[in-house]
Amino acid sequence: MSEVASPNRPLQLVAYGGVALAIAFELAVVWFALHPQVPPDYRAYYIDHSTTCLNQPISGDYRFGTTVSFRSDGGDQAKPLRVCGWEGPAGDGTHAVGTSARLRFALPGQLPDRVHLTLELVAITHDGYPSQHVMISANGKALTTAIALAGIPLTVDIDVPADVVGVDPGSLDLVLTLPDAIRMAQGDSDTRMRSIKLLSARLGPAQ
């Protein structure tokens, strides 16, 4: 005797197909959650937590060769240079907050053969922390490590190699990595840690 096809079989197939699609969708969501396709800066800040400084799309507008104050009197000139990791200014300087801070300098079309960077900074004063290491890199390449003493302004002078400038002819992106940054109060997050104040910055022809 031959079997009689169930009139509900097509509906069952549709239901099974719907369940399979739902499972596939859920698996895709889980996969993308575990392997998000996001920009490196976003991943470093929000997912890996490997930085406290989220890169911002600031212009870096800068007149090549001028000294920009990061004290209270230089806010308008300093603002276009501050990518992330800065707070203030507060009186005698702008606080770096977190474990790194960034600056961006837009570059002119014609550059001199030698480009020179000058930073004036000071380590914050806090019991048990007489100094702060400041690891300085530009366009992804290490330049130098400075040691700033608490309360004593330090001028850091760096000749920026041509191959570093050539990484991005349109701008120089500076990163100050601050491995000795301090939690000033219990419960402070990494993004609130303190280390140095930046007093001034200059990028121009070597003198």
Kindly report, residue by residue over 25-55, the tens digit of the pLDDT: 666 555 555 656 666 665 756 675 666 777 7
Q: Which residues make Cβ contacts (< 8 Å) with residue 100, sequence separation at least 6?
A: 51, 52, 53, 85, 175, 176, 177, 178
**Element (DSSP H or E) covering residue 10:** helix 9-34
pTM above 0.75, yes or no: yes
Extract the tokens encoding 206: 């070597």
Q: Mapping DSSP to helix (H, G, I), strand (E, B) and coil, where does residue 14 land?
A: helix
The pLDDT value recorded for residue 76 is: 87
Looking at the structure of the chain, the number of domains it has is 1
Task: Answer whether residue 3 is part of any domain.
Answer: no
Residue 140 has pLDDT above 90, yes or no: yes
Query: With contact defined as beta carbons under 8 Å apart, do 108 and 63 qualify?
Result: no
Query: What's the CATH number where 156 sits?
Result: 2.60.120.260
Range of the domain at 86: 53-205
6 belongs to a structural domain: no
